[in-house]
Amino acid sequence: MRYKTDTIVMNQRLTQTEEEIMHHIWDMKECTVREIINRMGDPDTPHSTVSSVVRILEKKGFVDHKTYGRTHLYFPIIERDFYLLHYLENLEEDYFEGSTRALVSFLVKEQKLSREDLREIMDIINKTDEK
């Protein structure tokens, strides 16, 4: 599967619903709207609603599809990690004046990162420095 890493696409922000559906598409790699609905766990979710959101994701450049008769098989063209990186960069910019240090300090102060978490992060940094 070939992913795009288009920065123009990444200027687009996903709504909560779009992001939820995008996570299902990332997890399944290829899927139909019906498969997304089944995975969401609410069989009463209208097919038209999910289909509309998937078409919006396609217009925004996050997914593409293959057509088999009347069936559309959707697949991601933006990698989850690529989206996550840009999401975090936007979060840093919007709430932490572009500072990763301020973001991490906030997480520590709010007790979202423990000393053990920080030790593990330092191990990752040290291993990366060794390369």
**Binning pLDDT at 50, 70 and 90, where does residue 1 land?**
very low
Each residue's pLDDT tens digit, 94-130:
999 989 899 988 988 888 888 898 899 889 988 887 7
30 & 73 share domain: yes
52 & 30 share domain: yes
1 inside domain: no
- Averaged pLDDT for residues 45-61: 95
Each residue's pLDDT tens digit, 9-51:
566 789 999 999 999 999 999 999 999 999 998 888 999 999 9
Other Cβ atoms less than 10 A from the Cβ of 105: the count is: 13
Please state the domain count of the chain.
2
Cβ-proximal residues to 22 (8 Å cutoff; 6+ apart), any chain: 14, 57, 62, 63, 76, 83
